[in-house]
Amino acid sequence: MPMSALPKFESEAPAREIPSTAESAPVQEDAPTPAPAGALRAAFERLRAGYESERDPSRAVRIERLRRLEAMLEQMAPAMIAAISEDFGHRPEQVTQLADIVPVQLAARHARKHLAQWMKTRRVPTGLVHRPGHNRLMRQPLGVVGIVSPWNYPGMLALAPAVAALAAGNRVMIKPSEIGPRFSELLREQVATHFAPGEMAVVTGGADVGRAFVSLPFDHLLFTGSTAVGREVALAAAANLTPVTLELGGKSPAILAADCDLALAVPRILFGKLLNSGQTCIAPDYVLLPRNRRDAFVKAMRRAHAAQYPTVAANPDYTSIATERHYRRLLDMLDEARAAGAQVLPLHAEPPSDAARKLPLHLVLDAPATLRVMREEIFGPILPVVTYERVEQAIAHVNAGERPLALYWFGNDEAERERVLRGTLAGGVTVNDTLMHIGQEELPFGGVGASGMGAYHGEWGFRTFSKETGVYHQSPYSAVKLLYPPFGAAFDRLLGMMRSLG
């Protein structure tokens, strides 16, 4: 495939993209040196050779690899917390524990607990026409799985897919974002220490490595990033007929019903919005609520902001915006909204801190639909508020845009809840809270339409990285020979019987 046809890894989309060019972030002197194309291909071939040497690892081998990943994570946790915080400018230890370490630990434990059941070859029903033969379904490793992970949750979004891929018996190759160079290098070192080169590898680098990585002939490629870059990744993977799982983004709404308890809903919305300072793919991107509840909502948000974040710039619990480019992008959004006549309401008296790259939450009211805050995934502490008179208007507003990665509904009326959930289509839903569906290993996580394709977590991840092979076992007593030529009356009778029995 010509290099000109490979993804540029550049986008004017929100900074949730996997930025793989120097223009995407300030130059950092200690950024990892890009891997040459030859070294990248050699790393891939070592993984391919590892797969060929053991195409279907036993359950014991898979569990041992998962335990090694858990041990690696436990060992690297202090350095990981420090590295991620330094990459961001500042990020609370608690956020990294909550969002990057514990979810991977729980995913690995869940996989170990259920692995025997997931791996089991199972009998499936056989149509009467084809008996006394019988059907079985085998789950087999695909081979070498590629994972392209972003900077916003660099641990979880690199290692949770790796858990699923290892559980399914695959070899794994990870390309983390160079926006987080310290964590990326730490992950590369730790994986090289805990895993053989034929089991799992991490490659670091910028645009050239990103383009070369997604053009490798993986057996499956998982990409987490922006919709714009996801399209380019899918095109590059298509050259090798590599199946892809795309975890993208979009404008995820929080819909408040008329009977919504604001005292319950507002602190949960604020938490979901300001975790990681809104640099979360499933953060509530905007709020839809009844017009007559808007003023009460604004007051409740002010109280919740003061309770959760009494200060901002000097607050150790408040995460910095990861890059100067992204910080300026958010400020530009606010300036555009003010210039267009929208009400821009900072929820804290502190102004934005350029030095710390910290921005208090701003509500945006009465924003024209043409503004960037209404068109783009915000990916930061800005929350547009849109009002409606009837819930059908809220549903229509959601459906007028691209399908979101997440949807949140707050209320008590079950009939209205079902009307909203069945009238919209999103990657995943949490009812009466935000974010929590991503932590359910018993549920699939994935987007739809512009917010992605495919899913993982729990058994869905195992299945994503497996080939479910259908196997039909023919019986020695089968009458199939009656279908052989030369064709005659026996063929006609058997075909008629198949039609009637089928």
Residues 171-184 have pLDDT tens digits of 999 999 999 999 99
Same domain, 210 and 343: no
Nearest 5°: the CA angle 387, 391, 393 is 65
Whether 215 and 238 have beta carbons less than 8 Å apart is answered as no
How many C-beta atoms surround the C-beta of residue 132 within 10 A? 11
- Alpha carbon distance 110, 99 (integer Å): 17
- Alpha carbon distance 26, 11 (integer Å): 16
Same domain, 110 and 7: yes
- Alpha carbon distances (Å) from 440 to 211, 366, 428, 430, 443: 33, 36, 11, 11, 5
* 113-130: pLDDT as tens digits: 999 999 999 999 999 999
Confidence of residue 35 (pLDDT cuts 50, 70, 90): low
Query: H or E stretch including 290?
Result: strand 286-290
Write the burial class of residue 106 (CB in 10 Å: 0-12 exposed, 13-18 middle, 19+ buried): middle
Residue 38 lies in a domain: yes
Query: H or E stretch including 77?
Result: helix 59-88
**What letter does residue 292 receive in the DSSP assignment?**
G
Residue 144 lies in a domain: yes
Same domain, 240 and 295: no
When divided into structural domains, the chain yields a total of 2
Give yes or no for residue 19 having a pLDDT over 60.
no
- Alpha carbon distance 381, 333 (integer Å): 11
- Alpha carbon distances (Å) from 19 to 83, 196, 205: 18, 28, 11
Residue 490 lies in a domain: no
Edge-to-edge strand order for the sheet containing 253-256?
343-346, 362-365, 382-388, 286-290, 253-256, 406-410, 428-431
Same domain, 461 and 432: no
Same domain, 50 and 123: yes
* 64-89: pLDDT as tens digits: 999 999 999 999 999 999 999 999 99
CA 273 from chain centre, in angstroms, equals 17
Amino acid at 435: L
How confident is the model at residue 28, as a pLDDT? 37
Same domain, 301 and 362: yes
- The CATH number given to whatever domain includes residue 205 is 3.40.605.10
Bridge partners of residue 407, in order along the sequence: 429
Write the burial class of residue 433 (CB in 10 Å: 0-12 exposed, 13-18 middle, 19+ buried): middle
Residue carrying the six token digits 């070859």: 121
Same domain, 278 and 136: no
Residue 66: name the closest of 169, 207, 185 by CA: 169
Residue 404 lies in a domain: yes
Edge-to-edge strand order for the sheet containing 144-148?
200-202, 171-175, 144-148, 220-224, 244-247, 452-453
Residue 480 lies in a domain: no
Give yes or no for residue 26 having a pLDDT over 70.
no
Residue 489 lies in a domain: no
Residue 471 lies in a domain: no
Confidence of residue 374 (pLDDT cuts 50, 70, 90): very high
200-202 and 134-141 beta bridge pairing: unpaired
Residue 498 lies in a domain: no
Whether 306 and 263 have beta carbons less than 8 Å apart is answered as no
Same domain, 265 and 342: yes
Retrieve residue 229's tokens.
């870059």
Query: Average pLDDT over the chain, rounded to whole?
Result: 93
Residue 469: name the closest of 58, 161, 168, 54 by CA: 168
Bridge partners of residue 146, in order along the sequence: 173, 221
* 244-295: pLDDT as tens digits: 999 999 999 999 999 999 999 999 999 999 999 999 999 999 999 999 999 9
- The CATH number given to whatever domain includes residue 348 is 3.40.309.10
- Name the residue range of residue 105's domain: 3-249+455-466
Whether 1 and 239 have beta carbons less than 8 Å apart is answered as yes
Question: What is the mean predicted confidence (pLDDT) over 306-313?
Answer: 97
SS3 157: helix
Retrieve residue 392's tokens.
């059908």
286-290 and 382-388 beta bridge pairing: parallel
Q: Which residues are catalytic?
A: 247, 281
Helices (H), 141-292: 156-167, 181-194, 207-214, 227-238, 262-274
SS3 90: coil
Length of the chain: 502
